[in-house]
Structure 1
Amino acid sequence: MEVKIRQEKPEDRKGVFTLIEAAFLNESNSDHQEQFLVDRIRKSYAFIPELSLVAEVDNKLVGYVLLSEITIQNDKNKFPALALAPVAVLPEYQSKGIGSKLLKSVHQKAKELDYKLVIVLGHEEYYPRFEYEPAINFDIQAPFEVPKKNFMLKELVPNAAKDIFGIVVYPEEFHI
């Protein structure tokens, strides 16, 4: 099975909406609103088209990932970072390495765009495979109550979080 990863095009949006909806349909930890979140982010300053990627198999959309701009803020400084939300793969294509390919591709693209940190609220057993660690280890906190093991950070550049601390600030489109 050949998987092609590419930047999302405007004509992909309807298919991406349906894909995300299907991917999260049976997820117990989901609010089943991820597809609407993506639509809101696309209309915001936080949207970075180069970090909105799709996976295709035989010209069929089977996966999607989005990184969008956030900040980490303390009393004195604001630091740019990215939020990973969502990564989605159609159920019949899950556990075939497509999510991994999407994540590796979007991390590489973010690094090329000079981003240094990615934050995710996600599964504590899945994301560490991609070098995500609990954000609290870096003194970076969520702006809401969440299990510390599920709020994670990935340094795209070694020691990128060394001098950064504070609370993550999401764009209003996240409805947090």
Structure 2
Amino acid sequence: MFGSALGRNPLSAQEDAMHIQDETPEQRAQVHALNRAAFGRDDEADLVERLRADGLVRLSLVAQDDDAIVGHILFTDLPTQVDGRAVRAVALAPMAVDPQRQSAGVGTALVRAGLACLARDGVEAVIVLGHPAYYPRFGFSAQLAAKLASPFPGEAFMALELAAGALRGAAGQVRYPATFGIDEAV
């Protein structure tokens, strides 16, 4: 059942057999393997493990088809300020879909389910470093993120407000936790 520990309701994905749920500890090995397969390397899979170990995970969802994990999305708390005011923000990273299931709606279902859960939980904004042709369909905007000092310039660095006006202001900053292994010099 999706989100039973957090009191969320079940969500169905675009395919009848697939459903989205909170990741369980028993699924971690499958999630690790999925991230490795989706990205063709260990970096993202290892990042997920480090974020878990450091207690930074806010939401981790899986797309499951029968007993197979076919997708995973992770959101972590991301210290963010705008005009000196703290914003309840999270980073979306990483999102992985089984290479055999890419372009079949799995990622879309994961993003939508994650954003719905985060909005219900009072998160005000989501930040992503991702494909500029993919994330705007969910409302992510490079223009909205441009005012946020970060290690990532350009159109791949995007933001989405889950609470209207959450990122309103002249200037702000995001601080990726050291676990991400990002040089914070901006």
The answer (yes or no) to whether the contact 2:84–2:172 under 8 Å persists in 1 is no
Name the Cα RMSD after superposition. 1.9
Q: Quick check: 1:125 aligned with 2:133? A: yes
Please tell me the residue identity of whatever aligns with 2:49: D
Measured after TM superposition, the shift of residue 137 of structure 1 is: 5.3
The answer (yes or no) to whether the contact 2:145–2:159 under 8 Å persists in 1 is no
Q: Secondary structure at the match of 1:148?
A: coil
Question: Among residues 28, 33, 39, which one is paired with 2:43 in the alignment?
Answer: 33
1:3-82 map, 5 Å: 3-25=18-40, 32-48=42-58, 51-73=59-81, 76-82=84-90
Measured after TM superposition, the shift of residue 77 of structure 1 is: 3.9
Q: Secondary structure at the match of 1:68?
A: strand
Matching residue of 1:153 = 159
Q: Determine which structure has greater relative contact order: mean sequence separation of CA pairs < 8 Å that are 6+ residues apart, divided by chain length.
A: 1
The answer (yes or no) to whether the contact 1:79–1:164 under 8 Å persists in 2 is no
Q: Percent of pairs identical after alignment? A: 37
The answer (yes or no) to whether the contact 2:83–2:170 under 8 Å persists in 1 is no
Cα distance in 2 for partners of 1:77, 1:33 equals: 33
TM norm structure 2: 0.83
Question: Among residues 161, 173, 176, which one is paired with 2:179 in the alignment?
Answer: 173
Measured after TM superposition, the shift of residue 80 of structure 1 is: 2.7
Measured after TM superposition, the shift of residue 54 of structure 1 is: 0.2
Number of aligned pairs?
Answer: 167
Please tell me the residue identity of whatever aligns with 2:113: S
Cα distance in 2 for partners of 1:63, 1:151 equals: 22
The answer (yes or no) to whether the contact 1:138–1:164 under 8 Å persists in 2 is no
Measured after TM superposition, the shift of residue 75 of structure 1 is: 7.6
Measured after TM superposition, the shift of residue 66 of structure 1 is: 0.5
4+ residue segments displaced more than 3 Å: 73-78, 135-138
Structure 1 unaligned segments of length 5 or more: list them: 26-30
The answer (yes or no) to whether the contact 1:136–1:148 under 8 Å persists in 2 is no
Distance 1:137-1:73 versus aligned 2 partners, 3 A rule: closer
Q: Secondary structure at the match of 1:115?
A: coil
Cα distance in 1 for partners of 2:132, 2:42 equals: 20
Measured after TM superposition, the shift of residue 86 of structure 1 is: 0.6
Structure 2 unaligned segments of length 5 or more: list them: 1-14
TM norm structure 1: 0.87
